[in-house]
Amino acid sequence: MNTAPLYGGLEAGGTKFVCAVGTEPQDIRAEARFPTTTPHETIRKTLDFFREQQELAGSRLTAIGIASFGPVDLNPASPTFGYITSTPKAGWQNVDLVGTIRHELNVPVGFDTDVNGAALGEGLWGAARGLDTFIYLTIGTGIGGGGMVGGQIIHGLLHPEMGHIRIPHDPQSDPYEGSCPYHGDCLEGLASGPAIEARWGTRAENLPPDHPAWDLEAHYLALALTNFICVLSPQRIILGGGVMRQGHLFPRIQAGVQKLLRGYIRARPVLEKIGEYIVPPALGERAGVLGAIALARRAAHSAGLATY
């Protein structure tokens, strides 16, 4: 029987689940993607995938990491630890994701938000390698943010909700009221993929690069990043998610951040190397699931089953 560590990773997204088995970016043995439907159906497909991979490997997975959409309960002392809690995703409120997978597969489970997981992966293998203070934002169906400060994943009262900060919104120039069911015109309500579609009547990928949507999008994201720079002083900012596949957004956001900061942050990456400071994820679309594998490695280390 194979006794070498082998990890499972689950990127549990509001749109799709991505499952993988492996140890690092160069060693992904299997991967599966499927839509996020009902909790029962989606979790069953997840369990089926990991059980099949264990049979093929001839051994139990060492640990599984879950990087999940939220909000989630990350407090190990809480009776609802491992639950997806007050999500606007229909049918997914108060779902015990960690407990179900741990019970069914009987392995240690590492758990965090999808963006904290992606940040961990980028810090270990990607665009933030060698840094101890950085943030990762995903701009897509929703907007979420996570990262590290002083080498530690950002936690606290709950976990970061960077997508729900309030930013200036001028209803004269942008009469769209916002898509967030909780806050209306927070960052997510103004700059997520669904907000772009609702405002302009078509999906973001259908809008040409010279469409006015993109200057407005870059403006909102630059406002948010300026706030994060002033509060957290990150050494790098990584922007992922479906909206950021529009590569022309990066120079607009970078220029917008410099304009808003007005030279106040006297740091060379911001003043002279902004193109190397606000960057896409080096792990690409695999950042989330690789982050989940990194969470699994941490869980195995905590359980004394492997080195990290």
Helix (H) or strand (E) holding 73: none
Residue 96: closest CA among 106, 111, 107: 111
Q: Contact at 8 Å (CB) between 195 and 142?
A: no
Maximum alpha-carbon separation in the chain: 67
Query: Chunked in runs of 10, what are the mean pLDDT values of the chain (308 residues)?
Result: 83 94 96 97 98 94 96 94 92 96 96 95 96 96 93 89 96 96 95 97 96 98 98 97 96 98 94 96 94 96 80
Other Cβ atoms less than 10 A from the Cβ of 156: the count is 7
Look at residue 275 in the predicted model and tell me its pLDDT.
97
Rounded to two decimals, the pTM is 0.92
d(CA 121, CA 138): 14
d(CA 279, CA 296): 26
Look at residue 306 in the predicted model and tell me its pLDDT.
73
d(CA 162, CA 194): 17
36-85 pLDDT tens trace: 999 999 999 999 999 999 999 999 999 999 999 989 999 999 999 999 99
237-273 pLDDT tens trace: 999 999 999 999 999 999 999 999 999 999 999 999 9
Other Cβ atoms less than 10 A from the Cβ of 132: the count is 12
Rg (CA), the chain: 19
Look at residue 118 in the predicted model and tell me its pLDDT.
95
d(CA 276, CA 51): 41
- The tokens describing 108, both together, are 């240690």
d(CA 128, CA 121): 9
